[in-house]
Amino acid sequence: MRYEAKTEEDAVAGAARALGRPASELKYTVIRDEKAFWGGRVVEIEVEESGSRAPEAGSREREAETTEPPLAAAPASAPALEVDAVAAVEATLTELLSAAGLLVETRRREVNGDEMLFELFGDDVEPLLADKGEGLTGLEVLVGRIASKRVGRPVHPRLDADGFRAHRKEALEELAHTSADEVRRTRRPQLLPPLAPWERRLVHLALAEDPELETESEGDGFLKRVEVRFKAH
């Protein structure tokens, strides 16, 4: 069995807790000791098994008796394509985090059409949230691109951690209103920094009811800029 942590000692301690045995009794091999892409370190150990318990007599028969019938096909609300997309995103996210040496776990929070939200938590979440979530946004873009290629259609995963999206929402709404005030003061359009689709949507919504101003996304690709300007008369 394999266990990961930031140090060899932590990995051994985690294995001891999981197996319910003293750390001094464990026999293990360090199979990975790498530096993470975002700094830090990840160590993986493989613990030798002390022997497995032989199956109880008649266990095969009991399994046969309690075998449940095959599950029915997924309902129409969860088409196969959607299930495949979620699985592709989960697998891609896990692979990238592992390759980066980040000790981060994921939990799926919701799926709505082709958009899905995953919560990230763990010791190495903080580096992803630095510089206004630049690492989190970059990971989100990369996961979406790789997963889209795997399933053969666009998928739009969204990643969140430590309430980042809620804080980012407040910051973007404030930026939208500040930009609107600047447009009125200078009588000139304001161009916001490149934003992800969900961020641009928040800006558009923040100024949607403004009687004088309008917003429009500009540029190509995943990240686009939003222009705030007076409505044409």
Q: Examine the pLDDT at 57 and tell me if it is beyond 50.
A: no
pLDDT digits over 90-113, tens only?
A: 999 999 988 888 888 888 877 665
Residue with tokens 């359009």: 189
Mean pLDDT, residues 62-84 = 44
pLDDT given for residue 113 in this prediction:
58
Q: Greater confidence, 63 or 44?
A: 44
Q: Examine the pLDDT at 64 and tell me if it is beyond 50.
A: no
pLDDT given for residue 112 in this prediction:
62
pLDDT digits over 125-156, tens only?
A: 888 888 878 888 889 888 988 999 998 888 88
Mean pLDDT, residues 149-164 = 88
Q: Examine the pLDDT at 61 and tell me if it is beyond 50.
A: no
Q: In what order do the strands lie in the sheet with 156-160?
A: 104-112, 115-122, 156-160
Highest mean predicted confidence (pLDDT) among 176-185, 190-199, 221-230: 176-185
pLDDT given for residue 60 in this prediction:
38
Which ranges in 20-125 belong to alpha helices (H)?
A: 59-66, 80-99
Highest mean predicted confidence (pLDDT) among 35-49, 84-98, 102-116: 84-98
Closest CA to 165 of 113, 193, 192, 128: 128
Lowest mean pLDDT of 56-60, 171-175, 222-226, name the range.
Answer: 56-60
Q: What is the mean pLDDT of the chain?
A: 78
Evaluate whether 135 touches 127 at the Cβ level (below 8 Å): yes
Q: Greater confidence, 113 or 159?
A: 159
Percent of the chain with pLDDT over 70: 76
pLDDT given for residue 187 in this prediction:
95
Mean pLDDT, residues 192-212 = 92
Quote the distance between the C-alpha of residue 170 and its chain's center.
Answer: 21
Question: What's the CA gap between 45 and 230, in Å, rounded?
Answer: 61
Question: What's the CA gap between 138 and 219, in Å, rounded?
Answer: 18
Question: What's the CA gap between 122 and 18, in Å, rounded?
Answer: 18
Q: In what order do the strands lie in the sheet with 190-191?
A: 190-191, 225-230, 213-218
pLDDT given for residue 184 in this prediction:
96
Inter-axis angle of helices 126-151 and 164-186, nearest 10? 90
